[in-house]
Amino acid sequence: MSGEQDMVPETKVLAIASHVSYGFVGNTMATYVMQSLGCEVAGINTVHFSNHTGYRQVKGTKTSAQEIRELYQGLAQSYLTDFDVLLSGYAPSAAAVEAVGDIAEDLKRRAESRPGSFFWILDPVMGDLGRLYVNEDVVPAYKKAIRHADLILPNQFEAEVLSGVKISTVADITAAISAIHATYSIPHVIVTSIQLSRLGSSTPTSTLTVIGSTIRSDGSPRLFSVDVPALDCNFNGTGDMFAALMVARLREAVFTASTTPQLKSTRSWVSPDDVASTDLPLATATEKVLSSMHYVLERTMEARTAELAAAADEQDDTDGSTDEQRQFRKHLRETKAGEVRLIRNVHALRSPKVIFRAREWQSS
């Protein structure tokens, strides 16, 4: 009874992101996801909120940049910084982004003599759908910090902000990723959930595409894509779920890459130029990550439908509340029902049936 058959190689992760009491986003999502795959996770929480902002009302506090630095100093003074991976997500201010960047630099410095022994995955949480939801000074803070990142996970809007390339056509995606490789020397990029049908592609509107790249030695991108069916629900925390699964699956792919056994001791885990895009550890990891996610989100959809049906039976429309109050109550109920069903579907995190495959991405 080893119990380890479904677990990834031993991995110690420092996770810096938000914490919510109820539901699954930020570190609350990422911690359990990584733990269930066998990772040891140390969490520094950048906010302490009652729930995620999708509810449209939240109570709680933000962690100051100074408090983030002090928690890290607490780890450092007791020699508790032997992390293999840093995963960083939402930071509530430019100063907090800088603090995270300094922590990453310190961890990189400690690992300098052992190439490949430390890897930083950064989700540059700034906005979505054409709109920033952080202060404007967070953008330059990220542009500075990400130069030390090994893999970044922007959505389409964040890729535009970082690259300076407005993505209006399919070809713009390649240009944006190339610019991110070139401008910031970031070896790995994944742009999460692009709707290609909006960019003039004949891809069905019901398809979301994830496009990733590991840089080649000449600086050019090595692009792959994975299509997944879009689910008709506004989930929260899926970006954090993607990032957390990626920590475990990328390290697993690098450590088990039989054709490139030296990869795990190569700086930033950059595969040799002769590795095809679809054979990249980044690509095979993405296949597993998206397969796990799709299963869990489909189960979440089913559970959501059942929960809302049960709630409808119990509802009382004669309680004297206004239309507006009833609408908001309905919104709260739907948001709660849409919380990702992680706990009871942990088997799909640990042992996904891989149903999505990476293809070489050619934007022409």
- Which residues would be at the binding site for its own copies (CB under 8 A)? 1-4, 7, 10, 14, 19, 21-23, 28, 31-32, 35-36, 38-40, 42-45, 48-51, 55, 57-61, 63, 67, 70-75, 77-80, 329, 332-333, 335-336, 343-348, 351
Angle at 329 between CA 328 and CA 332, to 5 degrees: 85
Q: CA torsion, points 266, 268, 273, 274, in degrees to nearest 10?
A: 60
Report helix angle 323-337 to 281-314, nearest 10: 140
**Which DSSP string do the residues of 80-146 spell out, in sequence order?**
----SEEEE---SSHHHHHHHHHHHHHHHHHTTTSTTS-EEEE----EETTEE-S-TTHHHHHHHHG
Shortest Cβ 354–its own copies spacing (Å): 14
Q: Closest CB to its own copies among 57 and 135? A: 57
DSSP annotation of 35 reads H
Q: Closest CB to its own copies among 48 and 359? A: 48
Report d(CA 106, CA 111) in Å as an integer: 9
Q: Which amino acid is residue 269, in one-letter code?
A: W
Q: What is the largest CA-CA distance in the chain?
A: 69
Q: Closest CB to its own copies among 276 and 306? A: 306
Q: Closest CB to its own copies among 73 and 205? A: 73
Kindly report the backbone phi and psi dihedral angles of residue 94, in degrees, each rounded to the nearest multiple of 5, phi listed first: -60, -40
Shortest Cβ 261–its own copies spacing (Å): 23
Place of tokens 């056509």: 169
Asked whether the beta carbons of 145 and 101 are under 8 A apart, the reply is: yes
Shortest Cβ 2–its own copies spacing (Å): 8
Shortest Cβ 73–its own copies spacing (Å): 6
Q: Closest CB to its own copies among 53 and 185? A: 53
Q: Closest CB to its own copies among 12 and 108? A: 12
Q: Closest CB to its own copies among 248 and 275? A: 248
Shortest Cβ 50–its own copies spacing (Å): 3
The structure tokens listed for 331 are 């919104």
Shortest Cβ 96–its own copies spacing (Å): 14
Asked whether the beta carbons of 49 and 19 are under 8 A apart, the reply is: yes
Q: Closest CB to its own copies among 62 and 267? A: 62
Shortest Cβ 52–its own copies spacing (Å): 10
Report d(CA 122, CA 152) in Å as an integer: 5
Kindly report the backbone phi and psi dihedral angles of residue 99, in degrees, each rounded to the nearest multiple of 5, phi listed first: -60, -45
Shortest Cβ 61–its own copies spacing (Å): 6
